[in-house]
Amino acid sequence: MALRVSQIHKIPVLRGFRASEPLTLRQRNVLWLLWLACLPASFVNTVFTQTATYAAAEFDVSERGQGFAAAIVRWGVVIALPFAFSADRFGRRKMIVAMSWLAPIVASLGALSPSFGFLVVTQTIGRPLGISLSIFIIVFATEEMGTNTRAWALSVLAVGSGVGAGSAVGALPLAGISDSSWRYVYVVGLMWLVVAFVLTHSLPETERFLALQHQQQVESPTHHSAAVSAHIHRDRLWLQIAVAVLTNIFVATASVFQIRYLKDVRDYSASLVAVFTIITAIPASIGLVIGGRIADRQGRKKLAVITIPLGAILIATSYGFGGFMMWFTAILGGICLGLAYPAMAVFRSELFPTAKRNIASAIITTASLIGGSFGLVGAGLLLDRDVSYATVMMSLAMGPVLVALLVFLRYPETAHRKLEELNPEDSLLQIL
């Protein structure tokens, strides 16, 4: 039987973590439902990264080929653009529900792969559905949370994403059973259809979209207010695209090749790879929630400027060590990037009006993944030429260093400011 909204408030929202200001009952219910939605989204977004090395081994694909395949899967993100447009036009709820069904079903088709190319095709379609779901979740939370809880809410949702991704990692030992048993990991993702059922019956629409929809209905077909006809701020868009690309060139490469590094260089088994990934991720999750509270209370910019370059350099350094130092630097780097995530994630949706919030976020994400794919291809080429992992990763870490500079010089501080203040077009909306 489906959970009712009236029942959901009885479930604590990550007990032990509190927002800087009290949440309403509706905000608690919404946050819990969005947290659930993060599970299938992040599983689908993670599963290919975790299994690609094992699939490549079965089909005898080189590091160069694996890197190129990962790039292709990321290029599929363009599929998210029409869905984002639909979310702005027809509602956030409808698209979240649709993606929560489609993403795990399409991604699970990877289990049937007769070739590495077939696997790449299924994930090139399935992963963008999960990415779309992630985008809509962030926008939904940004619109529903209060002025001083937006970043904190995204940090809580990021923990949910970590749980979803962790389920893919936790299933990774299945890949070690046989040469083809990595397929079982894709089957595991079908369990998230339960979440789709709950969302279908319990998730409301955002009040800001309802207000925008109401505004559209009362206005004449020939004349629309600034709120309805709002445009994407080009300067903000291009700035965030540059930041996202520079960040993802490093992050995508480090995440994709980490398993191959542990497997081939450090001779880790599938189970030990899973243990490493989980243990390094747990402190990062703590950093997420702390980072969200800091970003709401003290501001986004200072936090991001310090933690982004430090985290990237520490992660890159971990590729130059074995044993304790590899684990230590990876954990510290994960904590730093965890601290930075809420601040950077909330920027993507805060700085665009309600009428264009999803499509703007999708454009940034699309550019980020396509741009980041060049890092994957380049890293694959260098690694095939026996350039060390440490050299490759440290070179790519210069991207996040430049990001810190751009944030410091060009980003506005959005903490303690209403969305309507950041986007004057929305001031005409009457929140229902």
The H or E element that residue 34 is part of is: helix 25-58
Give pLDDT tens digits for 332-345.
999 999 999 999 99
Give pLDDT tens digits for 105-134.
999 999 999 999 999 999 999 999 999 999
pLDDT band of residue 323 (cuts 50, 70, 90) is confident
The C-alpha torsion from 278 through 284 and 286 to 291, rounded to 10°, is -160
232/360: higher pLDDT: 360
pLDDT at 401: 96
pLDDT at 154: 94
Contact 56, 175 (CB under 8 A): no
Give pLDDT tens digits for 155-175.
999 989 989 988 998 898 898
pLDDT at 3: 45
pLDDT at 225: 64
- In order of 81, 135, 232, 363, 376, the CA distances from 357 in angstroms are 12, 10, 8, 10, 29
Contact 362, 135 (CB under 8 A): yes
Give pLDDT tens digits for 199-224.
999 999 999 999 998 888 877 565 56
pLDDT at 47: 94
pLDDT at 223: 57
Contact 227, 426 (CB under 8 A): yes
Statement: residue 16 has pLDDT above 80: no
Q: What is the pTM of this model?
A: 0.86
Statement: residue 282 has pLDDT above 50: yes
- Which residue ranges form the domains of the chain, and what is each CATH number? 26-218+227-424 (1.20.1250.20)
Residue 172 amino acid letter: L
Give pLDDT tens digits for 74-99.
889 999 999 999 999 999 999 999 99
Query: What is the total residue count of the chain?
Result: 432
pLDDT at 271: 84
- % residues pLDDT > 90 (the chain): 65
